[in-house]
Amino acid sequence: MQFKRISRLYVFIYRKIPHVFHLGDKCGLHHDKGDCSAANVDSYRKMLKDHRYFFFPPNFTNWRRATEKVKQKLKPNGGWGDLRDRNLCYFLVDHVDPSSLRLNQLPFLQ
Q: Which residues are annotated as a binding site for Mn(2+)?
A: 22
DSSP assignments along the chain, one per residue: ---PPPSS-------SS-S-----SSSSTT-SS----HHHHHHHHHHHHHTHHHHS-SS------TTSPPSSPPPSSSSTTSHHHHHHHHHHHHH--GGG--GGG-GGG-
Question: Could you tell me which residues are annotated as the binding site?
Answer: 22
The span from the CA of 21 to the CA of 102, in Å, is: 21
